[in-house]
Each structure stands twice: as C-alpha cells, then as structure tokens.
Amino acid sequence: MAEFELKDVRNIGIIAHIDAGKTTTTERILFYCGEIHKMGTVDEGNATMDWMAQEQERGITITSANTTCYWKDKKINIIDTPGHVDFTIEVERSLKVLDGAVVVLCATSGVQSQTETVWRQADRYKVPRVAFINKLDRLGASFDRVLGEIHERLGANAAAIQFPNASEEDFKGIVDVVTEKYHVYNDDKGEDITVSDVPEEFQEKLKEFRHVLLERLSDADDEIMEKFLEEKEITTEDIKSAIRRAVVKSAFLPVLCGTALRNKGVQLVLDAVNDYLPSPLDVPPVEGIDIETEEKITRETKVEEPLSALVFKVATDPYVGKLFYTRIYSGVITSGTQVYNSSEDKKERIAKIVVMHSNKQEIVPQAAAGEIVALVGLKQSKSGNTLCDFDNKILIENMRIPEPVVSMSIEPKTKADQDKMGLTLKKFLDEDPSLRVKYDDDTAQTIISGMGELHLEIIIDRMKREFNLDTNIGRPQVAYKETITGKANNISGKFITQTGGRGQYGHCVINIEPAEKKGAGVTFINQIKGGAIPREYIKPVEKGIRDGALTGILAGYPVTDFTITLIDGSYHDVDSSELAFHLAAKAALKEGLHKAGSVFLEPIMDVELGAPEEFMGPVLGDLNQRRAKIVNLGNIGNLKTARCEVPLAEMFNYANALRSLTQGRASFSMEPAFYAEVPKYIADKIIGAREELSGKK
C-alpha cells in the first residue's frame, strides 16, 4: 500500500435519501479509480458495496460499507451509507468519524424526508459537504427545481458549480461554471469525454450561474467578497481556493450534477472531492475528556501525538470473526501491540489491522492518524469505544444513538435453542447500538426493539442465515413511552424492614416536574443540604430513580422527559444501606408519577408520499382515518405530493394499503419525527391489551 501524506487523504461518506443513487455513485467511483473492472448495478444485485445477501435481494443498502480508492494524487477512504431510515445508526456512526460527505439528491424527487435527516446529522457532527444532483436523465428531472429545494428545505448556502446542457433524454453534457469548460460524454461507459469551450447557446446561462456562485461565495469568504465588490479579476484558481476554504468551514455547498447510472459526471464529483473536501489536517483536533482530571483535552491529527481512536462499528466476518472499524485521530496503531480501551477500562491486543475494500481485506502492519481501518482481535470493545495509550488516557464522546420505535416479541422454535438465541442477540447488540433487547416479566417474553419493521425483519433474517436459528416472532408493537403533565412536590419514599437482626432503612423526599424541553430524558438534581442523606447514598437514590423510570405506572413502558429534585430524607446509622435508598427512590418515583399525572406518548412519523392526481383523494381519505395531520401538499412533475405527521401505530403494513389504493403507482417514505400524547380512548385500549397479555384480566 503506497504511503500518502495526510494532506492527500480524504475520508468521505456518500449520504442521501433511499433510492437517490448512493451505491450506484460509489460503484462508478470505484470503476473510474480502477478498483473494479466491471460496473455492477443495484437492480442486478452485483454492486460491490452491497455485499450482504439481504442487500442484493432487496436492492437497498443495509450496512455501511468501507472501501479505499485512489483518484489522481489523492487517497480516498469512502463509506457508502444506507438511505433507509431503519438503518439511520449506520449514517450516524459514519458521520461521527468522517471529514467530509457527498450528499446525493435525485433530480426528480429532490430533497426528501431522509435527505433532511442526514443533513441534520451532518450538521450535528459539523461535516463539510458537496452535493451531487443525480439521475438527470430520468423523466421529470429538473436541476433548477432541486437546486431551489436545497435552499428552501435544507437552508444551505448553495450554488451550482456545474449545470447540465438539458434534462431527461437530452442530457449529454455538463457545463463547468468554475473552469468555464463544456464536458460532453461520447460513450456509454463515460470514459470518452470531450472537453471544450462553452458553446454560445450556454454563455448567457453560464454568466447567470457564475454571478450567483460569486455572490454566494462572497457571503462565505472575505477574499472573494473583496474582489467581487471591487470588481477585480477573479481567476479560476481564486474561485477554487475560496470554495475549498468555505466548504471546510461548512459555510458553502457546491452543487454538481450528472447521472451515475448512465456514467456521466462522476469523474467531476471525484475532482470536487479532491479539490474541495477537507483532509484530516483541515478538520479541528478531536476533543475528549482526560480520564484522570475529567477536563476537556484535544489531540492534533499527528503521528507524533499519543494514540486516540474511536471504534465506530463492529461487524462479524465469517472468516476472521469480529471486525472493529476504527477511525484513528492521532498517533499510530501497530499490529501485535496492546492498547487501552478507556470506555470499558480494559486492555486490548491488536492481532491484525486490515484496510477494507467492501467485504474484502488487505492486511497492513500499522495504521496512523487520519486513517480508517478495521482491527481484528479485540475482545471487550464495542461500537462507540475509545482506544488510546496507557500513559495518555482520553475518552472521546460517543455518537448519538437514536431511540427505537418498534418492538416485537421473539422466541426460539425449540427450547434447546434458548441459550443460542441469547448469544446471537448479544452479537447483534455489540454490532448495532440502535437495537435493544429486554425481558418482559409481565408477559414472560423476550422483546427486541429497533428503528422500524424492516430493521427487525433483517435481524430475524440474519439470525436464520448466519446462525441457523429459527424463531417465532410476535406482531410488531409500538414503542410507547410515558411522561408527566404536571408537578408534584414533597413526595416521600420509604423502605423500612426489621427482621430480628440488622434491618433496612432508606427515606428520601423528591419533587417531580416535566422537563423543560422534549427529548431531555431523565434529569436528576441533588439539593440535599446539611447531610440529611449521606453522600454515599445519593448515587443509589439516582440509580433507583433511573431504574424505576424503565417501567412506568400505566402499562410498564419507559418514563421520559421529567426532572427529579432530591430535596430531603433521613437515614439510620446502622440500618441504612445503598439497597434501601435505591428501593426508597423507586417507591418515591412511583408515587410521584401518580400525583403528577402520567400519560402515554407515541412516536409520530414524518411521512412523505407521491401519487398520481386521480388517486390523491382516496389516499388522503385513508390518511385521515389513520389520524394523520396533513402538513403540506404540493407537486413534483405530474405527481401530487403530501407531507404529513402520522402515529406509527397507524402505519404498520401501509405499503400494501397504498399499493392497493393506487394500483401500485404511489410511493412513500417515513421516519421518526417526535413523540406526542396518545388520545385517551386509545390509551385505554393499550392498557387493556397490556393487562390481557400479562394475564391480569
């Protein structure tokens, strides 16, 4: 493997809504970089990055795949991410470790719901981006409309650095606004390209696009602003340098165009990756916590710095076992050496280091700052763990883990497979932080929870294929939550027992109130003064509150978005214990939930659909029956579109219902938006069903 300076390395991701063309774009990138010699397609199930059997069968990306390629004088590490919302954790953990991203948009569908989601995720991790408007050869494609949607729906400071000669079947060439050159594609493979001066027919449009580009660049870059306002000459190199500076600080979005499936425009995307996206040296140093002092520290992207690395993904390979995908932020990792896992407080030995090419591996002796590699041989590490030096310990912040919204019961078909199912689920939990497993005491069932029906379906399918484990599953259930609507003060919780010998004594007094903002979870505030409760019992009280919040009082669902303030209590010199205060806190919480008015919350989905006009009436009528709130109605070409907020409980098996209503001519996408209070008549049904299931009726 050739050595590359860090300034010549690009760690990028391909992110987009489902079906925008991410995997096809990545396939073309690999072909033009010489990594593959025949281009596969998603439809034929032979795309390099979609290597899982389930991906090939369904024509979607399920797991993010990593590969390395070389374009001109740059080394590019690419992660191709899924577009389906059920696998959003793959996007989340990829963006956590990437330096830049290519956002792919469909020229017919434009900015879709999942586009907005991945955009927000990229904003959260401050990832610089370029945009690629794909599928310009398709019926109904419109470059200008999608460019407008990027401004309106994403709020990006964007400008086209290219525009197409035409759309749909007339799309043959691309005008480069920066270099003022015209690229015409003469063959089907996109390798025979004629580059010439821009023809007269496009000169007026070029002036318009160039003026807008300079205007928007001026908003993001002072050097260009100065020249633009003073009407000085602005060269191609000036513009390229300004675009790079503005992109690196996430102040500007250059927009490119093409059609990956028809092999037009992909080389220009690669040029933009090289020219505009940051190297590991251009991004800010990684931040972490010093384990000893608990103070914030940073590590520069240098080989000489102490080691800091983040395991962002765990995958199981049938031949080498577990692969731990790792981004190295500073220092060097050498195979055969030991490192410290600061998240788990464990020593780990690196047996092997591999560079990934989709599901194939290239063994390397060591890897350094700025690299993304897979490690083999780790025993205790999980997704989100930090690896570092023993003498220079650091803890890097984990990625955000989304809350699951769908649950189902699962049991092995034979009792003999009970232990095997437990071990298999543990492997999946190590791989996928968005999957949850719990045992429900009321119903004596194992419950798995995930991001959607498809997410859980794939887990069940993988159990059968990879581990030969047959299971019975219950129908999908909504992951309801509970919260409170009012305040309750001076709630007392006691746990007192006396059994002849040493007894148990715990007593705490709490105030409970709703959280200030949604999504805050459980907040615990300690206001004990004068030692009413000794310091060593404060943690058990907090743990009792958090454990108690896992099962609410209405139907055993988790309680969220409330604040507990510990204000008073008492203890016994001999009988008090951590357990007693833990149980006293649980009792206080239960009482507090009753007094503060506990209510159900249900996940509301952001649904976007498109259907021919003649079917829109029945579709909207059906949505109204599903308790939908229509947010927006619009048009895309000949299609009528609707955006609405619908409770997840009403959306199971919606794909079949929509198909029958529209003769299969409509499509939809949905993703979790927020939690909202459940109407009382539905809450009563949920409680009744829960009691029936647990045999209380």
Q: Flag whether pLDDT at 104 surpasses 90.
A: yes
Q: Flag whether pLDDT at 53 surpasses 80.
A: no
List, in sequence order, every residue forming a beta bridge with 632; answer none if it has no partner.
643
Residue type, 56: Q
pLDDT in tens, 424-471: 888 888 878 888 888 876 667 788 888 777 788 888 888 888 888 888
pLDDT in tens, 258-303: 998 889 999 999 999 999 999 999 988 998 998 888 889 999 999 8
Those residues whose C-beta lies under 8 Å from the C-beta of residue 512, and which sit 6 or more positions away, are 484, 487, 488, 491, 562, 563, 564, 565, 589, 592, 593, 595, 596
Q: Flag whether pLDDT at 485 surpasses 80.
A: yes
As given in the structure block, the two tokens for residue 258 are 């093409």
Q: Flag whether pLDDT at 331 surpasses 50.
A: yes
Q: Flag whether pLDDT at 387 surpasses 90.
A: yes
pLDDT recorded at residue 562: 94
Task: Quickly state the pLDDT bin for 543 (edges 50, 70, 90).
Answer: very high
Intra-chain end-to-end CA distance of the chain, in Å? 68
Distance in angstroms (rounded) separating the CA atoms of residues 236 and 15 = 28
Task: Quickly state the pLDDT bin for 55 (edges 50, 70, 90).
Answer: very low
Give Cα separations from 595 to 371, 487, 676, 682, 684 (angstroms): 54, 8, 21, 22, 19
pLDDT in tens, 140-186: 889 999 999 998 888 899 999 999 998 888 888 999 999 999 999 98
Poorest-pLDDT segment among 503-512, 616-625, 672-681: 672-681
pLDDT recorded at residue 271: 94
pLDDT recorded at residue 549: 92
pLDDT recorded at residue 106: 92
Please state the rounded mean pLDDT for residues 199-215. 92
Please state the rounded mean pLDDT for residues 470-477. 83
Distance in angstroms (rounded) separating the CA atoms of residues 363 and 121 = 32
Distance in angstroms (rounded) separating the CA atoms of residues 112 and 397 = 30
Task: Quickly state the pLDDT bin for 139 (edges 50, 70, 90).
Answer: confident
As given in the structure block, the two tokens for residue 330 are 């500073």
Please state the rounded mean pLDDT for residues 584-599. 93
Q: Where on the phi/psi map is residue 521: left (φ > 0), alpha (ψ -120 to 50), or beta? A: left
pLDDT recorded at residue 353: 92
* Of 635, 651, 633, 652, the residue nearest 643 (C-alpha): 633
Q: Flag whether pLDDT at 43 surpasses 70.
A: no
pLDDT recorded at residue 362: 82
Q: Flag whether pLDDT at 383 surpasses 90.
A: no
As given in the structure block, the two tokens for residue 489 are 């003060």
Distance in angstroms (rounded) separating the CA atoms of residues 319 and 529 = 59
Poorest-pLDDT segment among 470-484, 502-516, 539-553: 470-484
Across the chain, what does the average pLDDT equal? 85
Distance in angstroms (rounded) separating the CA atoms of residues 509 and 493 = 6
Radius of gyration of the chain (CA): 28
Ranges of H-type helices in 235-329: 236-248, 266-276
DSSP-assigned letter for residue 535 = G
As given in the structure block, the two tokens for residue 560 are 């969220």
Percent of the chain predicted with pLDDT > 90: 37
Task: Quickly state the pLDDT bin for 16 (edges 50, 70, 90).
Answer: confident
Q: Flag whether pLDDT at 1 surpasses 70.
A: no
Contact between 418 and 406 under an 8 Å Cβ cutoff? The reply is: no
pLDDT recorded at residue 466: 82
Task: Quickly state the pLDDT bin for 318 (edges 50, 70, 90).
Answer: low
* Of 24, 251, 7, 6, the residue nearest 129 (C-alpha): 251
Q: 426-464 burial by CB neighbour count: b if 16+ within 10 A, else e?
A: ebbbbbbbbbbbeebeeeebbbbbbbbbbbbbbbbebbe
Please state the rounded mean pLDDT for residues 90-110. 87
pLDDT in tens, 333-367: 999 999 999 988 899 999 999 887 755 778 889 89
Q: Flag whether pLDDT at 59 surpasses 60.
A: no
Q: Please state the three-class secondary structure of 131-183 as a single string.
A: EEEECCCCCCCCHHHHHHHHHHHHCCCEEECEEECCCHHHCCEEEECCCCEEE
* Of 358, 386, 364, the residue nearest 376 (C-alpha): 364
Q: With the C-alpha atoms ordered 582, 586, 591, 596, is the resulting torsion angle positive or negative?
A: positive
Q: At what angle do helices 266-276 and 22-32 cross, to 10 degrees?
A: 80
Distance in angstroms (rounded) separating the CA atoms of residues 562 and 544 = 15
As given in the structure block, the two tokens for residue 564 are 């507990």
pLDDT recorded at residue 45: 47
pLDDT recorded at residue 38: 67
Give 48 or 198, the one with higher predicted confidence.
Answer: 198
Winning range, highest mean pLDDT, from 115-129, 499-513, 616-630: 616-630
Percent of the chain predicted with pLDDT > 70: 92
Winning range, highest mean pLDDT, from 312-326, 428-442, 627-641: 627-641
pLDDT in tens, 519-538: 788 999 999 888 899 999 99
pLDDT recorded at residue 2: 45
Distance in angstroms (rounded) separating the CA atoms of residues 339 and 336 = 10
As given in the structure block, the two tokens for residue 301 are 């992207």
Task: Quickly state the pLDDT bin for 51 (edges 50, 70, 90).
Answer: very low
How do the residues of the chain divide into helix, strand and coil, expressed in percent and rounded to 5? 30, 35, 35
Q: With the C-alpha atoms ordered 389, 390, 393, 396, is the resulting torsion angle positive or negative?
A: positive
Task: Quickly state the pLDDT bin for 95 (edges 50, 70, 90).
Answer: confident
Poorest-pLDDT segment among 51-55, 61-65, 465-469: 51-55
> In a 3-state reduction of DSSP, which class is residue 188?
coil
Task: Quickly state the pLDDT bin for 48 (edges 50, 70, 90).
Answer: low
Please state the rounded mean pLDDT for residues 197-204. 92
As given in the structure block, the two tokens for residue 35 are 């990594």
Distance in angstroms (rounded) separating the CA atoms of residues 145 and 148 = 5
pLDDT recorded at residue 647: 92
Those residues whose C-beta lies under 8 Å from the C-beta of residue 203, and which sit 6 or more positions away, are none
Q: Residue 322: which H helix or E strand, with range?
A: strand 321-330
Those residues whose C-beta lies under 8 Å from the C-beta of residue 233, and which sit 6 or more positions away, are 227
Please state the rounded mean pLDDT for residues 81-108. 80
Task: Quickly state the pLDDT bin for 570 (edges 50, 70, 90).
Answer: very high
Per the listing, tokens 């019992």 go with 537
* Of 284, 220, 214, 283, the residue nearest 251 (C-alpha): 220
As given in the structure block, the two tokens for residue 53 are 């059997």
Task: Quickly state the pLDDT bin for 382 (edges 50, 70, 90).
Answer: confident
DSSP-assigned letter for residue 307 = P
As given in the structure block, the two tokens for residue 69 are 């390629």
Q: What is the pTM of this model?
A: 0.73
